C-alpha cells in the first residue's frame, strides 16, 4: 500500500513539472550555436591607399611673410607675376586640376626655390604619402598661405601635385584617388621635418 501511495505521489509531481514547462522536460543546459555567440565588435577600415606611385619628387618653397602675402590680396593692379604668386600662395583651390599645373617653369622667377628630393628622403616619402585611418587630423581657423609645393613624377611624367600650408594644416592634392583627409597631422609633421629640417620658420 505504501508503495502504491508513493508511486501515485511521484506521478502527480511529474505531472506538475510538465505543466509548468509546457509539457516538455527541462533540459539541463540549452546549447549555444556558434552563430548565436556574441562576437566582439571590431572596427573595420579599408586597405589604405597610396597617394601617388612616384619615383621622383620636386619641392618648391618660398620664404614669404604673412604681410607680403596679404599685400597681394590688397593689390588690385597685380602684374602677371604677382597674379601667379597670389594664386599659388593665397588661393586654396588653385590650380583646380592637374592639367592646370602649367606654371612650374615660372616659379623660380617669382621667388620660389627648387629642390630635388634625395633618394634617402624619397624612401621616407613613400611611407608618408599613404592614407592614415588612425592619426589625428584637423584644420585651424587661420588664413592659409601655401609656401610649399610638391611635384610627383613617375618616369619623368608629372602624376601628382600638392601644395601645403603647415601653419594651418591645409593641403591641396591633385592627381590622386586617395582621401586627402587621411593625410594626417603625423604625416604633416614628418613631411615638415624633411622639407624644413625641423626649423622654426620666422613667419
In a domain? residue 19: no
pLDDT at 125 > cutoff 70: yes
More confident residue, 114 or 197: 114
pLDDT (0 to 100) of residue 105: 95
pLDDT at 77: 95
| DSSP structure string for 6-72 | HHHHHHHHHHHHHHHTTTSPPPSS----GGGSPPPP----PPPPBS---SEEEEEE----HHHHHHH
Residue 35 maps to a domain = no
Domains in the chain: how many in total? 1
Give the pLDDT confidence score for residue 197 in this predicted structure: 82
Chain segment 134-174, per-residue pLDDT in tens: 877 766 778 999 999 999 999 999 999 999 999 999 999 99
Does some domain include residue 81? Answer: yes
Which pLDDT score, from 0 to 100, does residue 80 have?
96
In a domain, 41, yes or no: no
Over pLDDT 70: what percentage of the chain? Answer: 74
In this structure, what DSSP letter does residue 4 have?
Answer: H
Please indicate, yes or no, if residue 30 is contained in any of the structural domains.
no
Task: Find the domain containing 135 and state its range.
Answer: 56-196
Share of the chain above pLDDT 90, in %: 67
The answer for residues whose C-beta is within 8 angstroms of residue 149's C-beta and 6 or more apart is 59, 60, 61, 88, 107, 112, 161, 162, 163, 164
Residue 184 lies inside a defined structural domain of this protein: yes
The predicted model scores a pTM of 0.75
190 in any annotated domain? yes
> What is the per-residue pLDDT across 68-114, written as a single tens digit (0 to 9) for each?
999 999 999 999 999 999 999 999 999 999 999 999 999 999 999 99
- Whether residue 113 is contained in a domain is answered as yes
Amino acid at each position: 500500500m505504501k508503495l502504491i501511495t508513493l508511486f501515485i505521489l511521484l506521478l502527480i509531481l511529474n505531472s506538475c513539472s510538465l505543466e509548468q514547462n509546457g509539457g516538455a522536460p527541462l533540459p539541463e543546459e540549452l546549447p549555444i550555436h556558434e552563430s548565436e555567440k556574441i562576437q566582439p565588435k571590431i572596427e573595420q577600415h579599408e586597405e589604405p591607399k597610396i597617394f601617388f606611385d612616384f619615383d621622383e619628387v620636386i619641392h618648391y618653397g618660398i620664404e614669404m611673410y604673412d604681410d607680403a602675402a596679404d599685400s597681394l590680396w590688397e593689390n588690385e593692379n597685380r602684374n602677371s607675376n604677382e597674379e601667379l604668386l597670389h594664386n599659388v600662395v593665397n588661393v586654396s583651390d588653385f590650380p583646380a586640376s592637374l592639367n592646370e599645373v602649367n606654371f612650374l617653369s615660372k616659379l623660380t622667377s617669382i621667388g620660389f626655390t627648387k629642390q630635388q628630393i634625395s633618394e634617402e628622403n624619397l624612401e621616407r616619402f613613400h611611407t608618408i604619402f599613404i592614407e592614415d585611418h588612425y592619426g589625428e587630423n584637423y584644420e585651424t581657423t587661420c588664413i592659409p598661405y601655401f609656401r610649399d609645393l610638391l611635384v610627383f613624377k613617375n618616369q619623368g611624367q608629372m602624376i601628382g601635385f600638392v601644395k601645403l600650408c603647415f601653419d594651418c594644416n591645409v593641403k591641396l592634392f591633385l592627381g590622386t584617388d586617395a582621401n586627402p583627409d587621411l593625410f594626417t597631422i603625423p604625416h604633416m609633421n614628418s613631411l615638415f621635418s624633411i622639407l624644413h629640417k625641423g626649423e622654426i620658420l620666422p613667419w
